[in-house]
Structure 1
Amino acid sequence: MAAVLLLYYHLVNGGGFTGDETVYIDPDVFDGYSYLEVEVIEGYEVDIDQTLLRQGAIVYLLCDLNDMVGEFEESFQSQDLTKKIISAYKQCELSEIPEIDDLLGLLEVGEEGFNFQEYQAILHKIFNLYVVGMFSELANKIKP
């Protein structure tokens, strides 16, 4: 959970998905893929937020995907990392964030028909709902 919170901190500090947010996360501690379908053992749900871990794993992958789109504009779909993320999606491992369907649906048209503005709009929506929303939810739990 600490890795997800650190990732979310950097996303909020940068104002959204801007690039390279995952450099702050040690991949030996949190790689995203290992937490896509994590299940918290019964009795530990009070201390470990399964939903936060699953959603954070997806957000981590979206950071990597966004890096691929930004760095390899003309060939991002042929990059191994992009293929790995799409493979995880096709295996239904990204269902914790339903908006991912629309986002990755944009990739089906190829780089030449890719709607970057729509892609950015969906990323922004995910950022607001799941990253900013998580901090808002935590702040509202504070008891006076």
Structure 2
Amino acid sequence: MKNGKHNPLVSILLIILLTVAVAGLGAVVSGGSDDPWYAALNKAPLNPPDITFGIVWPILYTLMAIGAILVRLKAGTFALASAALGIYFTQLAVNLSWSWLFFAFQTPLIALIIIGILWLLIALMIRAFARYSKAAAILQVPYLLWVSFAAYLNAYIVFSN
């Protein structure tokens, strides 16, 4: 403890490491058009080129981690932010499960259900983050919007294949 506050370094490193791990483990199975199964699917008219996902997701993961770090710092201790950060880590796990269910296990319908759960968790995370930092909450809005768009893409695949 330093000046009555816990050193946030361990929490910050945990947030960064877990966020990077989820991003990496999701990327392992997200082959895009290089994946013959995915390439053969009928896709939505607004489906962006593969390169878009490779640009957007790293930005979103960065914004997610910055938001979680802001919450941790504003709370003063991990324990005081445990509810908000618990939602953060839960949505990371659900986010990762979507990638694996959709791409690795090729189950778009189950993935669509999971993306609905992910959307709700992100909305709850925004609300929980706002209790500590409006900036942390606002940083999650692009993520919510992108997951909304991804849900449309996922739904199109479910209903058109």
Normalising by structure 2, we get a TM-score of 0.33
Structure of higher CA gyration radius:
2
Which structure shows the higher helix fraction?
Answer: 2
Normalising by structure 1, we get a TM-score of 0.36
